[in-house]
Structures are given as structure tokens and as C-alpha cells.
Amino acid sequence: MSPPPRRGQSSRRRVSLSRRRVLAAGFATALAGVAGCSSAPTGDGAGGTSASDSAGGGERTSSGSDDDGDGTALADASVAVEPLASGFVSPVDYFAPADTGRRFVVDQPGVVYEVTADGRREAPYLDLRGRIVDVGGYSEQGLLGVAPHPEFAENGRLFVRYSAPRRAGTPSNYSHTFVLSEFTVDPGAETATPDGERTLLELPQPQSNHNAGALGFGPDGYLYVATGDGGGGGDRGTGHVADWYDPVAGGNGQDVTENLLGSILRIDVDAEGEDRPYGIPDDNPLVGSDGLDEQYAWGLRNPWRFSFDVGTDGSDGSDESDAADWDLYVADVGQNEYEEVNLVERGGNYGWNVREATHCFGAGDCPTTTPDGDPLVDPVVEYPHSGDGVSGIAVIGGYVVRDGSLRGLEGAYLFADWRAEGRLFAADPASETTPWPVAEIPVAGDTAPGSFVTAFGRDTEGLYLLTSDSQRVGGRTGELFRLVAP
């Protein structure tokens, strides 16, 4: 396979004019993956990474600094938070279907709540707790993502990602089953009836952690789904297959033939295949080659959340002329030493478990390419688990700021870390070096978010922050905030 193109692209253009209008006007309101976890994973396995220069070579700026030229543009930026709703257990996602005027928060134990001008509705909009494993204490399982179809206002199609008890086909020594399902609901109803579930995909999950959870529709109209490496530590052990890299046994991140773990998947929910309830985009990178057709990118550990950036010209990527004018940002939670954000390419390999961010994992030296010569793609953001400046243990992916509401941050990638005491960070995509310079963005004013950032959200009115004051799934300390200028 030749080196992949820089940006997500699709050679198959089957989006109707009506659908293009929906995507252009309401794409930002579709779920693009909100990141964190009250479940957010910590370093949980054998580490032993050694810092060595990574793939691509050349000099790198020092991650976590804001004084390397490009980063100074962020030095004076700040934000404030406006409380909108509270009383959630562990809010992990936010979505606002286009053309409905409605907003929703996904609570990890299995409930979707609507948010109104008065705060969280008491009665759930959608209650799936009876289909999900029991979630409590420290957990990375639960209802992990919800994505409305781009035409939800007309068709009521809602896609959900959750952790179910072991289903048929999941080995008895595995933890649970990953489920991707579709519900068709009344888009105007106050309560959605969870009948008529249509299961699209089931994946056996070896361990309870590294479930990722993000899903969302891209500007090309396809559904993107993030999967973790199967859990445990180091991408090895039960449920982790052999791969090409001998110094570290396993695993799923570098495999593209045995299972769909450790990857970004891309499927067509508006079509059906001969042997599956969804279609495969013709230009998925492994179609017609040795690999599973759903794969879009791989070499990931725990890509908990992702987001799309459609740029500043309003293009939606649905025409060949603007197909390259959008980017996919994937925040991948690290193991013991580094966190990373990747600018994901079609067919890109992001290195796990050969590398943790740009650093060799479990070995003093490591390759920069696969045996076939395909590059291990560098992250655009990395930061350490300890030290001065930007640090944390589980990256919470955010969004590129585009609406002009946050002064000094236009065009910056805003994100957080689950265990960074509510601090926010931003990276500068305009940087000429990678990883990009990163700066802390102070939260001004008398209102502070919760100590644990669990997710970001976006709609046509701006950006949102989901937080909790507990690192365990319990209590009712979860809140929704809007990010505003100080």
C-alpha cells in the first residue's frame, strides 16, 4: 500500500443535493465524538517506553510549551464557562440533531437526557440501561456514544454505541460485547421508545477497558466508529492477536485482518452489503486487498473521541473540488507516559503498540515503517504524563475553534485531559513543526468546570464542555457548560 493521502477523502460521491444541504448547514451539530471517560483509562500495563526520535525525523518542538514561535499566538487566550445543565452521573457525549433545535447529553450508565433552557429534563429521552452491563465505580464501559443521522429531523435514525453483556459469538473468557445499533425514533417526541433496535455490528471485547466510544458522521456522509485495542495493558494477552512487530508481543493495533479493534472504522449506513447490515465505501483503504473492509485507519490504542474540522469556507467535503478541505482529529489515550492527538489519514497507521506517541514502546529502538514500507504516522499533539506545563493521563479530544466566539482561539484545536483538574489546552495547527506547540488556556471568571473533563460537544451555537467532580461512575456531579469569551 502506498503512503496514504494527508486528509480524509472519498472518491465515491453519492450525497444528494438535499443531503449536502443538511451536512453543510448542520454538520457541526452531528456527534463527532466527545472524549473522556469517568472511565478514562490510566496507565494500566507494562510500560517501559524509552524516548527515541520517531518516524519522520527532523527537529521537533517541545510539547507542552507555548513559546516556540507559533504557540505564542495562544499565549493570551482564555475562555469562560456558562453552566447549562447538571445532575448527570458521568456525561460522556453531546449531540444536537440538525434542524430540530434540540440538545442532548449522553450519560454513561445508559441514559440520554434532553437539555432545555431550564436545564436537564428529569425524565430520560432514551433509557438503555437494561441492555448495558452494570456500570459503577471506575468503569470504561456503558453507553459511550450517540450519533444522529444527518437527516434525523426527517428520518429519526439514531445510532448508539454501548457495552452489552456477552452475546453469542463472544468467548466466555471475554469481558463483554461491543454493540453498534440503530434506533428509529420520532424526532419530535419528548421521549424516544427504544423498540425496534437494529444491530449493525458486534465485536467481542477481551477486557473491560479501552473501549473507545466515539462515533459520528463525517462530511462525506459516512459513519465513523472508533474502537480500542481490546484492553489490558500493552495490547497483548487474551484476545490480542500476533502482529509483525516482534519486540512487543501482539497486538490488535497493528492487525488489520483478524479483528476490527484498535482502529477507526468507516461504514455506509444508507446501504446494505450482501453479508452485513451496512455498506462499505468503495474507497475504504483495504477494499480489495488483504484486510477487513471496514478499516479506515489503525495503530490506535484507545481513541476515545474524535472530531471533524470542515475549515473556514463552509465546504462539506461532498464535492470532488472540496474533498480535501476537512480533517479528522483523533485523540488516542496513551499507556504510561504520553498522550497523543492524530490528524487521521485514510489508510494511516498511528504506531501502537510499536510506539506510544512518538516514543518507542517496550523497546529501546523501534522502526518508523512497517515491513511493507508504510509509515507509522506521527501525532500532531503529544504531551507527557508528568512534568511542568501541559500534562495528564488521558487525553480528552476536542474541536478546532471555527465560530469566532472564543477570542484568540480561532483555528486552534481545543482539548483537555481527564485528570488535569479541569484545565483546558490548545494546539496551533498553523505551526510549521510537529508535534504542534501546546498552551494551557485559562478558564476565567467565577465559575469553574468540574475537576474531571469528560467530553466536548459542538453545535451551531458554539462549543460545550462536559465535566464531573468524580473519577468514578456514581453520584450526580456531572455538568454541561457552554464555552464563552471571558
Per-residue pLDDT of the chain (486 residues; tens, 9 = 90+): 333 333 333 333 233 323 333 333 333 333 333 333 334 444 454 333 333 333 333 222 333 434 343 445 687 899 999 999 999 999 999 999 999 999 999 999 999 999 999 999 999 999 999 999 999 899 999 999 999 999 999 999 999 999 999 999 999 999 999 999 999 999 999 999 888 899 999 999 999 999 999 999 999 999 999 999 999 999 999 999 999 999 998 899 999 999 999 999 999 999 998 899 999 999 999 999 999 999 999 999 999 999 999 976 544 444 444 445 899 999 999 999 999 999 999 999 999 999 999 999 999 999 999 999 999 999 999 999 998 889 999 999 999 999 888 989 999 999 999 999 999 999 999 999 999 999 999 999 999 999 999 999 999 999 999 999 998 999 999 999 999 999
pLDDT of residue 313: 53
Cβ(480)–Cβ(116) below 8 Å: no
Amino acid at 364: G
Read out DSSP for 362-404? SSS---SB-TT--BBPPPSEEEESSSSSS--SSEEEEEE--SS
| 8-state DSSP, 277 | S
pLDDT of residue 23: 37
Instruction: At 2, list the grid cell.
Output: 502506498
Three-point CA angle 270, 274, 280, nearest 5°: 45
**pTM, full prediction:** 0.86
**CA–CA gap between residue 158 and residue 162 (Å, rounded):** 13
The neighbour count for residue 52, using CB atoms within 10 Å, is 13
pLDDT of residue 388: 85
Cβ(32)–Cβ(98) below 8 Å: no
The CATH number of the structural domain formed by 17-52+90-393 is: 2.120.10.30
Name the residue with cell 443535493: 17
pLDDT of residue 440: 95
Strand positions, DSSP E, 65-170: 80-88, 91-95, 103-107, 111-116, 119-120, 126-127, 143-148, 157-164
The neighbour count for residue 275, using CB atoms within 10 Å, is 5
Task: Please state the three-class secondary structure of the chain as a single string.
Answer: CCCCCCCCCCCCCCCCHHHHHHHHHHHHHCCCCCCCCCCCCCCCCCCCCECCCCCCCCCCCCCCCCCCCHHHHHCCCCEEEEEEEEEECCEEEEECCCCCCCEEEEECCCEEEEEECCEECCCCCEECHHHCCCCCECCCCCEEEEEECCCHHHHCEEEEEEEECCCCCCCCCCCEEEEEEEEECCCCCCCCCCCCCEEEEEEEECCCCCCCCCEEECCCCCEEEEECCCCCCCCCCCCCCCCCCCCCCCCHHHCCCCCCCCEEEEEECCCCCCCCCCECCCCCCCCCCCCCCCEEEECCCCCCEEEEECCCCCCCCCCHHHCCCCEEEEEECCCCCEEEEEEECCCCECCCCCEECCEECCCCCCCCECCCCCEECCCCEEEECCCCCCCCCCEEEEEECCCCCCCCCCCCEEEEECCCCCCEEEECCCCCCCCCCEEEECECCCCCCCCEEEEEEEECCEEEEEEECCCCECCCCEEEEEEECC
